[in-house]
Amino acid sequence: MALLLNADMGESLGPWVMGLDEQVMPYVDLANVACGFHASDPSTMRRTVRLARQNGVTVGAHPAYPDLVGFGRRSMACSPDEIEDMVLFQVGALSAMCHAEGVSLGYIKPHGALYNDMMRDSAVLAAVMRAVASFDARLPLMVMATRDPGPTRELAEREGVRLWFEAFADRAYDGEGRLVSRREPGAVHHDEATIVDQARRIALREALHASDGSELVLEADTLCVHGDNPESVAAIQSIRETLARLGATP
């Protein structure tokens, strides 16, 4: 099975630059473009969409809680209706930039705390799914691959939404197949060999070692990589080369 590589992009804001988008873009298949609530601005959004088009990369909306100061990593007490509306608002903004650049929006992937909250709370997930279905039910919603994806699949069927399951090359997992909190030691892998080996295991559906010592097999459609420093860009290149050798690239 082909494993699409996705990366968070367009997270700069005005004169403040974050990420190495131009270096990362040639090695990924999917660009998760920030929509202004946790990072980015209109010019950055359009520039990132243009960069994706030039590299033949599919553009996805990366909506978040309205939390610029916390980079969207803090949960917020929003009602399901508010969540549905804020996702629609952000997806619509990025879709306008895509239209201006002559490309189509390809999928939706929530960011940070919103992403984690929807995987823990079915009411939040349903609100996000309703936003996707309202905007365009043909667009896949990217969700976390966990040990038991059954409940997420069932909810998606009820809401009429397609899913892409996502795994992470550089993050540690707990026994349920959820990401270990960044507040915990060892939650983020920094060693290139460890990151590439985890990507290989996910592509081949081999067992990972969860934080509780159990073995964990994830069924994923896409693999998230991060490229905010030269070392992580090198890791992405190695992952791409490894997946190509395995025949696990599109």
pLDDT in tens, 127-144: 999 999 999 999 999 999
- pLDDT (0 to 100) of residue 182: 84
CATH number (1.10.10.10, 3.60.15.10, 3.20.20.370, 3.20.20.70) of 4-246 reads 3.20.20.370
Q: Which residue matches tokens 């992937």? A: 109
- pLDDT (0 to 100) of residue 98: 98
Residues counted in the chain: 250
112: alpha, beta or left? (left if phi > 0; alpha if psi -120 to 50): left
Select the more confidently predicted residue: 83 or 191.
Answer: 83
- pLDDT (0 to 100) of residue 38: 98
- pLDDT (0 to 100) of residue 1: 67
Q: Give me the mean pLDDT over the 43-54 stretch.
A: 98
CA gap 128, 90 in Å, rounded: 12
- pLDDT (0 to 100) of residue 100: 98
Q: Give me the mean pLDDT over the 132-158 stretch.
A: 97
Q: Is the pLDDT of residue 103 over 90?
A: yes
User: 38, 39, 36, 117: which is closest to 79 by C-alpha?
Assistant: 117
CA distances from 60 to 31, 55, 107, 110, 123 (A): 6, 14, 5, 10, 23
pLDDT in tens, 208-217: 999 999 999 9
CA gap 108, 68 in Å, rounded: 19
For 100-140, strand residue ranges (E) read 105-108
pTM value is: 0.95
Q: Is the pLDDT of residue 108 over 80?
A: yes
DSSP string, 144-196: E--S--HHHHHHHHHHT--EEEEEESSB-B-TTS-BPPTTSTTSB---HHHHH
Do strands 141-144 and 163-168 pair parallel, antiparallel, or not at all (unpaired)?
A: parallel
Q: Give me the mean pLDDT over the 138-155 stretch.
A: 97
- Can you list the pairs that 85-92 forms with residues at least 24 positions away whose Cβ atoms lie under 8 Å? 85/131, 86/37, 87/63, 87/127, 87/128, 87/131, 87/132, 88/131, 88/134, 88/135, 90/35, 90/36, 90/37, 90/61, 90/63, 90/64, 91/35, 91/61, 91/63, 91/131, 91/132, 91/135, 92/135
- pLDDT (0 to 100) of residue 230: 83
C-alpha dihedral sign at 18, 54, 59, 205: negative
Mean pLDDT of the chain: 95
